Amino acid sequence: MGILKEEYVPIADALNSFSRDLNLFEAENHLYNAAYLSAMQNKTNEVRAKETGDAVLLLQKKTTQELYTLGSELSKPMKLLNIVFDKAKIKTTLPSDVIKKVNKRNFEGVLNSLSFLKDVIASQSALLISSGMKPDTETLIQNTFDAITAKSNEQSAYQQQRKSFTSANKGLYKELYVYISEVARMGKIIFQGEQKASEYTLENLIALVNSSRNSKPAD
């Protein structure tokens, strides 16, 4: 659930109207007092801070980009390995498979192909080196395998944190929804028959709140 900047407008409007009319609300119901206004403001600030300070999302995006970079860096060595395999007359599509899976962002598949490729290189090391392969190729593939594994695990961890973050935000927004709907309901009754009642139109405010609650996170 994400709250777009524009969607704070009805929340701010509800707070401003309630603040201006606080004495009238309290005169009708003592529960709608300065403490209630403060609690509503605090809840609004809490939701806004959660949404605008989503550091985990930024870290997740950064990690994903780093994972893509690791994948892109495999293109050149895999193409060179294809030449070596052809020269050594070893029939395998593993280097090409790695490139294809990188392009499809299938990093689980990339890791599987790298693992098989490393085994082939280990078993045919002498022949491949004599066909032009660099002696440290197996080590380089293992290092890349380890780096992609670590980055993939990091990405998964951030994804799990994001799921928890989204669940927490939904709970917070439901709490804020209660404040807004209560204030809107009371205001509509207090100012019944007056132009000012439009500031507390329950249907409009709740529709906007529901829209915010159900919206998806922005990338």
pLDDT in tens, 169-215: 777 878 888 888 898 889 889 999 988 887 776 555 544 444 444 44
Q: Which two tokens stand for residue 71?
A: 């994948």
pLDDT in tens, 65-101: 999 999 999 999 999 999 999 999 999 999 999 999 9
Q: What is the pTM of this model?
A: 0.55
176 and 3 in contact (C-beta within 8 Å)? no
Q: How far is residue 13's CA from residue 201's CA, in Å, rounded to a whole number?
A: 11
Q: Identify the weakest region by mean pLDDT among 25-29, 52-56, 58-62.
A: 52-56
Q: How far is residue 192's CA from residue 99's CA, in Å, rounded to a whole number?
A: 68
Question: Which comes out higher in pLDDT, residue 60 or 54?
Answer: 60
Q: Which two tokens stand for residue 83?
A: 């030449």
The closest of 163, 206, 170, 219 to 1, measured between CA atoms, is 170
